[in-house]
Amino acid sequence: MIFGGMRVPTGSADKKILNTKRFTPTGQCGGGCINQGETYDTDNGQVFVKSNFKDGAKQMFEGEFASLEAIRATGAVRVPKPLHVVVSETGHGAALVMEALDMVSWERNPYDLGRQLANLHRHNQILIEKNDPSAVRRFGFHITTCCGFLPLDNTWKDDWIDFYVNNRIEPQIKLLENKGEDTGIREIWARAIDDLPRLFENVSVIPSLLHGDLWSGNTAEVEGELVIFDPGSFYGHSEFDFGIIKMFGGFNHSFYDGYRKVIPEEEGFDGRCDLYELFHQLNHWNHFGSGYKRSSIELLRRLSDQDV
């Protein structure tokens, strides 16, 4: 079966095969800066297809597929059910097929989002407390995921600061250096690294399953139920998800009330929020250009000069 230049692969034992003769676009489209999306009618109901024709799209969608599966497995918050990753005939580009949800703008109390996000973050900690063999005790993920289009290094690490410095910030700085756009950020970052242990004094970082890119644009509701989507998941510090929330203005106090009802705030949270926003500022700089240069450098300087 071919659609939009993509062919659904067959013979995959671990994924559902889209067994349909009918695959008709409904005219309902969506998308953003990275991908295009469209809803199709099939013999088994409607599906939503996200597509991207760049090299590396298959890896991106396989990571999103795994992220959606992992979040769904917690039962903490609803996400679209992923069905299949498909590849183009040429090998350039891929698509992610998932259940089609009639999403509308999310207007419910942000308290619900805060509470459900905290339950997602708490899920693995509860497994650890129960000594459940499925609990994850390291930082990383079993597959490469992406934040935007750029792949993330999810190689497992035992230490969170080591993971964050070398698996998150270092690759972003190297990308900028390779493009000749570093403008001295490595020197500023080197000063900030010296202060990182102080940001985590008296803080026990337990691996949490993260959404990875949660902001208001990745939330919606379906028949009154909250839905989050477009994840780039991994196991990391629960506070990491606040970096992108802070960058794009966040949610109102009710969101934080809901979250803190489940996970109380720890001392030094604001400084660590700056640290986690840094990844997203640099990632946006690498994706969309120098419009994010000034904010990235200002944040780096604040981190390097702060008195915790």
256 contacts 118 by C-beta, under 8 angstroms: no
Vertex 219: Cα angle to 142 and 240 (nearest 5): 50
Which DSSP state fits 166?
I
C-beta pairs of 53-57 under 8 Å, 24+ apart in sequence: 53/5, 53/88, 53/92, 53/93, 54/92, 54/93, 54/149, 55/92, 55/93, 56/149, 56/151, 57/93, 57/94, 57/95
Paired tokens of 89: 């005939």
List Cβ neighbours of 261 (8 Å cut-off, separation of 6 or more): 114, 115, 118
Task: List, in sequence order, every residue forming a beta bridge with 150; answer none if it has no partner.
Answer: 147
Catalytic residues: 213
What phi and psi values does residue 80 have, to the nearest 5 degrees? -60, 145
Q: In whole angstroms, how far apart are CA 245 and each of 93, 177, 211, 293?
A: 30, 27, 12, 19
Q: Of 111, 112, 139, nearest to 208 (Cα)?
A: 139
Q: How far apart are CA 109 and CA 118, in angstroms?
A: 15
CB atoms within 10 A of CB 67: 27
